[in-house]
Structures are given as structure tokens and as C-alpha cells.
């Protein structure tokens, strides 16, 4: 039987705090969602001033990134590139930039999804959260899935 790393509550809090700090430093009101590798929600945080719809979009982006093991932006690019049939993919509803998988040592531990500002800014916030987690373990290596 294989073993694999998983996100702990402490890890999730580290990711969320760093993402929140980055968003606040830029005065970006957002929702931050973090899920496990199966797309199950572990954390949802709604900053003041963000549109209510973002509380639906951020978890969808996180789930899409976790289940697909890739940034949600990849799906958006495929669809924008003409592969509109991908809109029928089951259980993937957050196919917009702003969902980032949390990949450590080749294993997807989950994902973070952010919504509330420009999609590229959402992605920056998500990446800031992931960087904070990786900083806790200098021997960990992040890689694209």
C-alpha cells in the first residue's frame, strides 16, 4: 500500500493566512477556498467587500484544480481556444483562472481557489498561499502536475 502526504489543518491555515495577507496588501476583496485532493472543501474565507457570487466561484475553481491536478486556467484556455465541448466535463464548474493545485514532491495535496478580482490577480493570491506552505519545508519541491 502506498502512502501520500495530505494537507493538515495547520497547513490550510498557513495557506489561507498568506493568501489573505497578499490580498489585503493589494486591497483586493476576495473569497479564498481550499480543498483536499478529492475536491472536498476544507476552508472558505470571504473578505469584506467581495461580491457574494465569489463564495460560489472560489470553491468551484479549487475543486476543478484539485480534480484535474492542474491550474483551472488551463481549462479556460482550452475552451477559449475552441474546445467548447469541454464545458460538458462532469463536476468541473470552475473552469476560470484562479484555481491552483497544491503539488508537493509530485503529489497533488489539494488546491486553492480565489475569486473576487481579475482572474490573473486571483491566481496571484492563490500562488502566494502555496508559496507560504512550501516555505515551511525547504526540502519540498513544487512542480506542475
Domain count, the chain: 1
CATH of the domain at 32: 3.30.450.150
- Residue 4 maps to a domain: no
- Residue 63 maps to a domain: yes
CA distances to 12, 30, 53, 82 from 49, in Å = 23, 8, 12, 35
- Residue 70 maps to a domain: yes
Query: Residue 8: is its pLDDT beyond 90?
Result: yes
- Residue 145 maps to a domain: no
Q: The whole model's pTM is what? A: 0.93
- Residue 121 maps to a domain: yes
Q: Note the pLDDT of residue 105.
A: 86
- Which helix (H) or strand (E) covers residue 86, if one does? none
- Residue 85 maps to a domain: yes
pLDDT in tens, 95-131: 999 999 999 988 999 999 999 999 999 999 999 999 9
Q: Answer yes or no: are the C-beta atoms of 31 and 57 closer than 8 Å.
A: yes
- Residue 18 maps to a domain: yes
Strands 41-46 and 31-36: antiparallel
Average pLDDT of the segment spanning 30-59: 98
Range of the domain at 31: 9-136
Q: Note the pLDDT of residue 72.
A: 96
Q: Note the pLDDT of residue 143.
A: 47
- pLDDT band per the 50, 70, 90 thresholds, residue 145: very low
Amino acid at each position: 500500500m502506498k502512502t501520500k502526504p495530505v494537507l493538515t489543518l495547520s497547513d490550510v491555515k498557513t495557506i489561507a493566512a498568506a493568501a489573505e495577507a497578499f490580498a489585503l496588501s493589494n486591497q483586493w476583496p476576495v473569497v479564498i477556498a481550499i480543498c483536499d485532493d478529492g475536491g472536498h472543501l476544507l476552508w472558505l474565507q470571504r473578505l469584506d467587500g467581495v461580491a457574494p457570487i465569489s463564495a460560489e466561484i472560489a470553491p468551484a475553481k479549487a475543486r476543478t484544480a484539485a480534480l484535474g491536478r492542474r491550474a483551472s486556467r488551463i481549462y479556460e484556455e482550452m475552451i477559449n481556444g475552441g474546445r467548447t465541448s469541454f464545458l460538458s466535463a462532469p463536476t468541473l464548474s470552475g473552469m476560470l483562472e484562479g484555481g491552483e493545485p497544491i503539488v508537493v514532491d509530485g503529489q497533488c495535496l489539494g488546491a486553492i481557489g480565489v475569486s473576487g478580482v481579475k482572474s490573473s490577480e486571483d491566481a496571484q493570491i492563490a500562488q502566494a498561499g502555496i508559496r507560504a506552505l512550501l516555505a515551511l519545508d525547504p526540502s519540498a519541491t513544487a512542480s506542475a502536475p
